[in-house]
Amino acid sequence: MTIDNATQIEFWNGETGRNWVTHDALMEAMLQPLGEAVINTLAPQPGENILDIGCGCGHTSLGLADRVGADGLVTGIDISAPMLAVASQLAGEHNAELSSIQFVEADAQTHAFEPERYDGVFSRFGVMFFEDPVAAFANIRNALRTSGRLAFCCWQPRAVNPFMTVPAMAALELLPAPPEMPPRTPGPFAFEEADYVTEVLTSAGFEGVAVTPLGQPLTFGRGLSLTDIVERLVQIGPIAQMVREAPKDLQQPVRDKVIDAVAPFYAEDSGMTLDGQFWQVTARK
Ligand SMILES: C[S@@+](CC[C@H](N)C(=O)[O-])C[C@H]1O[C@@H](n2cnc3c(N)ncnc32)[C@H](O)[C@@H]1O
């Protein structure tokens, strides 16, 4: 099964994109360490040009811009207008001298990038949504200089990610399971199989593809009460859609189940911490 990019554009400009904007600080606090680890792997150097695919609200683009400095350039590309609006605002506030960052609202699968413009391509969870991943990565590869490098992170399977399974299993005690998507369907878990990621990148022309496990605890809702954390989980977390579609009379009982399930992973000062298992993917042109 595939989901075309027009549907993704609608999705990321609709409720999902708006929810991400609302909870941007929460999401960023959780994902920042992971992005930092992948930025360290890419190791951008002062003066380099870096492309951030699916940059969302732009936090990683700002991190990359700090590394390349005023002589470098970071381009964040995304299809979500509301998320890019946050990115532009943050860039304006980040550093008045920061002229080395730009955001483009476009589909990275088809956008006519300037050929050989970039030294590196980065993404934190922005490359699993392409209708045709080989075409998308071939297009992105064209934007890289000879020997240019790629580093991104994506999710390992849902089943090995307690951040996904713990709240979901609790909700499923009361709600029907959502329809299962076939493997490789564009979405968060499209790249859950390491061999498939290697196949996609190799078919797109990349060399030296390495897909390595990266474990990173996910800390969600630092400073919030357990009830507030579960409220956020049903708005933007792994059970959002399931709960949104649940009958009215089950809304609170589901929340109560999830509260019980995540309570062992909650601490008042740090919020909810659950393990996350990701792939860190590197390659070169
Ligand atoms: C899970 S979010 C990650 C956002 C950001 N990288 C972060 O880590 O906070 C996925 C992002 O990919 C973007 N995206 C999805 N398909 C895209 C495409 N074809 N071209 C560019 N961006 C895309 C979405 O709009 C969304 O901002």
User: Taking CB atoms and a 6 Å cutoff, what residues make up the pocket around ligand 1?
Assistant: 5, 8, 12, 31, 54-57, 60, 77-80, 83, 107-109, 124-126, 129-130
DSSP 108-168: TTT--PPTT-EEEEEEES-SS--SSHHHHHHHHHHTEEEEEEEEEEEE--GGG-HHHHHHH
Digit-coded pLDDT (tens) for 152-167: 999 999 999 999 999 9
Q: Which of 7-11, 33-37, 102-106, 246-250 has the lowest mean pLDDT?
A: 7-11
Element spanning 77, H or E = strand 73-78
Is the pTM higher than 0.75? The answer reads: yes
Give the nearest ligand 1 atom to 131 CA. Answer: 19
Q: How confident is the model at residue 277 (pLDDT cuts 50, 70, 90)?
A: very high
| Mean pLDDT score, 32-58 | 97
Closest CA to 52 of 25, 90, 2: 90
Tell me which residue has its CA closest to atom 19 in ligand 1.
Answer: 107
Query: Residue 97 above 70 pLDDT?
Result: no
Q: Is the pLDDT of residue 217 over 80?
A: yes
pLDDT at 228: 95
* Contacts (Cβ under 8 Å, ≥6 apart) of 31: 59, 124, 125, 218
- How far is Cα 1 from Cα 176, in angstroms, rounded to an integer? 22
- Mutating to test ligand 1, I would choose from 19, 36, 55 the residue with most ligand atoms within 8 A of its C-beta, which is 55
Is a pLDDT exceeding 90 seen at residue 62? yes
Using alpha carbons only, give the angle 223, 39, 81 rounded to the nearest 5 degrees.
Answer: 70
Give the span between the Cα atoms of 272 and 25, in whole angstroms.
Answer: 15
Instruction: Write down the mean pLDDT value for the chain.
Output: 94
The Cα 262–Cα 230 span in angstroms is 8
Question: Is the per-residue pLDDT at 35 higher than 80?
Answer: yes
Residue with CA closest to ligand 1 atom 24: 54
Which sign, positive or negative, has the C-alpha torsion 189, 195, 196, 200?
Answer: positive
pLDDT greater than 60 at residue 69: yes
Each residue's pLDDT tens digit, 8-29: 888 889 888 999 999 999 999 9
Query: What local confidence, expressed as pLDDT, does residue 96 receive?
Result: 54
Round to whole Å and give the CA distance between 68 and 44: 6
Which of ligand 1's atoms lies nearest the C-alpha of 59?
A: 9
Q: How far is residue 92's CA from residue 96's CA, in Å, rounded to a whole number?
A: 7
- The pLDDT, as a whole number, for residue 161 is 96
Architecture field, domain 5-160+182-223+276-284: 3-Layer(aba) Sandwich (3.40)
Q: What percent of the chain has pLDDT over 90?
A: 84
pLDDT of residue 125: 98
Helices within 194-268 (DSSP H only): 194-203, 226-236, 240-244, 248-262
Cα(246) to ligand 1 centroid in Å equals: 27
Q: What's the whole-number mean pLDDT along residues 258-284?
A: 96
Task: Please check the confidence at residue 242 and state whether its pLDDT lies above 70.
Answer: yes
Which atom of ligand 1 has the smallest separation from the CA of 108?
Answer: 20
pLDDT of residue 1: 64
Closest atom of ligand 1 to CA, residue 188: 1
Q: Are 257 and 171 within 8 A, CB to CB?
A: yes
Q: Which residue did the predictor score with more confidence, 243 or 37? A: 37
Give the model's pLDDT for residue 220: 95
Quick one: pLDDT at residue 29? 96
Give the number of other CB atoms < 10 A from CB of residue 6: 11
Longest CA span, the chain: 59
Least confident range from 6-15, 80-89, 186-195, 226-235: namely 6-15
What's the gap in Å between 252 CA and the centre of ligand 1?
A: 31
**Would you say residue 235 has pLDDT above 90?**
no
pLDDT at 99 over 70: no
